[in-house]
Amino acid sequence: MKTSFRLALPVLAVLAFSPAVQAQSDPHQRHHPSGQAQEVQDAPAPGSSMPMPMRGMDMNGMPMGGQGGGSMDCPMMGAMRRNAGMGMGMGMPFEHIEGRLAFLQTEIGITEGQREQWNAFAGALRRNAEVHRTMHDQMMAPDASPPKSWLQKVQGKTRMMSSHAEALKAVETAAGPLYAVLTEDQRQKADSLLSGAMGMM
């Protein structure tokens, strides 16, 4: 009997320590049953399937407005801000219009025989600058009420773009006769200067 008991002791010891060995071999398994850890890792984050709208765009993919998202911003106003940034501290394109025109006249080298065409072109640039100023003031007015609907926003942008197109057409009309009397060197200077903020496009 004693011999049988002594032979059984090693077996009992193995059985007694087997659960402890299994528990210590994989502590992570105690917290995550089989397959559960992989499922947690593979599960997508909630809402990750919905693409986020791009910066500057609303949920419909339309460009967002300026202040408060309600102003009637448009591509040409964005161009005004970019040109102002490229103007090296000269401010908005419509500011100091007379100084800008005097600078252009001097740099291009307008002669007495070209003065008539230049005056017509300068007048068109003044009107274009005034259109830009009006649009800017309307957008920045503290008491300006934002459009209440998408349709009103589109209508506002249409009015602004129509006014700008009319002023720009006048600039084009006046630029033709001026370019016709400029020398090749003067045209190159005009192209370089008017392509930036000086052009007020």
Based on the domain organization, do 100 and 151 belong to the same domain? yes
Based on the domain organization, do 113 and 26 belong to the same domain? no
Which alpha helices (DSSP H) does 109-183 contain, by range?
115-140, 150-181
Based on the domain organization, do 101 and 16 belong to the same domain? no
Based on the domain organization, do 27 and 125 belong to the same domain? no
Determine the Cα–Cα distance for residues 135 and 126; give it in Å rounded to an integer. 14
Q: Which DSSP state fits 144?
A: P
Question: In the prediction, which pLDDT does 87 show?
Answer: 42
Q: Name the residue range of residue 101's domain.
A: 67-199
Question: In the prediction, which pLDDT does 75 show?
Answer: 46
50 found inside a domain: no
Based on the domain organization, do 113 and 186 belong to the same domain? yes
pLDDT digits (tens, 9 = 90+) for 58-74: 444 444 444 434 444 44
Determine the Cα–Cα distance for residues 197 and 201; give it in Å rounded to an integer. 8
Mean pLDDT of the chain: 70
Based on the domain organization, do 31 and 83 belong to the same domain? no
Per DSSP, the residues of 40-59 read HHHSPPTTTTSPPPPTTB-T
Based on the domain organization, do 127 and 35 belong to the same domain? no
Percent of the chain's residues with pLDDT above 70? 51
Question: In the prediction, which pLDDT does 112 show?
Answer: 97
Question: In the prediction, which pLDDT does 105 show?
Answer: 97
pLDDT digits (tens, 9 = 90+) for 147-193: 789 999 999 889 888 988 998 999 999 999 999 999 999 999 999 99
Based on the domain organization, do 128 and 179 belong to the same domain? yes
Is residue 93's pLDDT more than 50? yes
Q: Which residue has the higher pLDDT, 142 or 179?
A: 179
Please choose, from the candidates 184, 79, 63, the residue with its C-alpha nearest in 3D space to the C-alpha of residue 128: 79
